[in-house]
Every structure is written in C-alpha cells, then in structure tokens.
Structure 1
C-alpha cells in the first residue's frame, strides 16, 4: 500500500518530465514509420539523450531533496537548542528593556537566533526550502520577533550588518517587529 502511494506521489510530482520523456521516446519510435527510412542510429541517439536528460533531472531533484532534508534537520536542531530559552526571556525582560539590561549569555542566544533566522531566509530565497517549512518557521520568527528583548538586540545588530547577505533579511525581519 505504501509503495503505491509513493509511486503515485512520484508520478504526480514528475508529470511534466515523464510526459516529455515518453513523448520523445514515442516520437523517436514513430518517425521511421512515417518516412520509411532507416533511422536506427538516430533513434538510439535520441533515446539515449532523452534517458540521460530524464535521469539527470531525477538526480537533480533527489539532490535538492537531500539538501532540503539536511537544512531542515540542521535548522530544527539549532532552533530546538535555542527555543527552550525564549519563554524565560519573555518573562525576564520587560517591554522597556535596554541593550545594557541584557546579559551576555542572553545576548549571544538572541544573536544566534537572528543568525539562524537569516540563514533560513537566505536558503528560502535561494529556493532550497519547502514553502510549508518556510511558512512554519516564518510564523515562529513572527512570534519571537515581537519580544522586546529580541527587538532591542535586532536593532543593535542590524547596525553592524552591512553585507548583502543580511540586507534583504533586515527588511523582512523589520516587518515582523
């Protein structure tokens, strides 16, 4: 039963490349009958090329899936290591918090979180993250961005982020504040 569902998902996900591959093979096999010629070498060439392109596409897709899995796993592990501290930060720091009120460990924790968010944003915009995972992470970012202590650290940090890597993230995160 699971194999049938997996096959159905595979076929659904790859309708277009499978259709193109099947059409190329069909055309290659039909053309000699239409023109009464001997196209065996051409047919084998087209079939080989089509098969190579199709398998290359599947390999590319597999590589993208593996990259997403690795990023998903790493980002979730890093978030899990940080997330237990956020309820404490919410209780410990008042809405009037100043940068000087924030302990060094908490400052490092929030900077690590902001770096994680920036990396997730970067990889999403590079097309390496699934939209569902991104929407979930974005929702979490929105929740934690509302903490005054996170806002204060972000505003201080953004002053030192001058690279293009952070530029778009800065604007994105400001909207969450």
Structure 2
C-alpha cells in the first residue's frame, strides 16, 4: 500500500477518534446541563410549595382550633361565618393536588414526597371540614380539577 493511502487511513482514524471524543464530551456536557436545569426546576418547585404551605399552615391550625372548640363547625359554617378559612381549605386541596401531580411526573424526590404525603394525610385526618370538602369534591365533576386518574385518591384514609 502506498504511503499516500497510509496517510489517508491515519488521518481518517484520527478524525474518527477526535470526532468520537468530541461527541462524548458534548454528550457529557449536555447531560450535566440537563441535570442542572432539572435540579433548578425541582428546587423552584420545593420553594414554591413550601412557601404556599407556610401561607396556609396558620389557617389550618385556626380551623383545627375552631373544630376542637365547637362541635357545629362544618363546611356550611365556614362558608357562612369564616369565608377566608373556607377559601384556605380549597387552597390546601389545590396545593395537595399540585404536589401529587409533580410527584407523579417524577419531579418530587420520593423522600420529600413521603414527608409531604404524611403531612397531607395528617391534616385530612385532623380536619373534619377538609375531609367533608374533599368528599364533596371527589364525588362531583370537580374531581377532574385535581389531576387524578381513575381510581387515584388525593389522601390515604387510615385503616380503622
């Protein structure tokens, strides 16, 4: 084989090696950038949901206090006498639904979701009005507003 063809082959092999190395570097960089963007998005979700919960937490405690002090507190009572608290119950359902949606999309770390779900179920079990509102929403077409598939539930009822 002539020296010319050996140089062509050598040049071709170098091109393949350099091209492969370039592809590998590009792939690794792209993958790291994707991971950074995903982490940033997840962090944004965490901040947003934690801030939203912080806005609602005191109101949930206010409802619990009302329920503990008055046997006649139900959704109608809240709607008529404490509309801001009734509104916060709806906000809480929306928060729970959004957290569940992003968890189902794989955007919420399982450890974080486990903690959030425990908190969701805590309030569901402690607030009769929340359970009453969810049962009402869950049996109407409003259920579609909570991003649930057929058979899915937003809360887990404790076993009696």
**1:85 matched residue in structure 2:** 59
Matches of 1:66 and 1:130 in 2, distance apart? 13
| 3-state SS of paired residue (1:167) | coil
How much does 1:96 deviate? 6.4
The answer to whether the Cα contact below 8 Å between 2:100 and 2:154 also exists between their aligned partners in 1 is no
Query: What do the CA deviations read for 1:20-65 (whole angstroms, capped 9, x no partner)?
Result: xxxxxxxxxxxxxxxxx62100001100111111111101110110
For 1:112, which of 91, 96, 108 is the aligned residue? 91
| 3-state SS of paired residue (2:148) | helix
Q: Does 1:53 align with 2:34?
A: no
The answer to whether the Cα contact below 8 Å between 1:68 and 1:129 also exists between their aligned partners in 2 is yes
How much does 1:138 deviate? 0.7
Matches of 1:112 and 1:151 in 2, distance apart? 14
**1:140 matched residue in structure 2:** 119
Query: TM-score with structure 2 length normalisation?
Result: 0.78
Give the total of aligned pairs: 141
**1:129 matched residue in structure 2:** 108
How much does 1:161 deviate? 2.1
Gaps of 5+ in 2: 1-8
Larger-gyration structure (1/2) = 2
**1:150 matched residue in structure 2:** 130
Over 3 Å counting, the alpha-carbon distance change for 1:151 and 1:96 in structure 2 is farther
The answer to whether the Cα contact below 8 Å between 1:123 and 1:129 also exists between their aligned partners in 2 is yes
Matches of 2:54 and 2:47 in 1, distance apart? 10
How much does 1:95 deviate? 6.6
Query: TM-score with structure 1 length normalisation?
Result: 0.71
The answer to whether the Cα contact below 8 Å between 2:121 and 2:157 also exists between their aligned partners in 1 is yes
Over 3 Å counting, the alpha-carbon distance change for 1:89 and 1:117 in structure 2 is same
| 3-state SS of paired residue (1:127) | coil
Matches of 1:73 and 1:87 in 2, distance apart? 21
| 3-state SS of paired residue (2:108) | coil
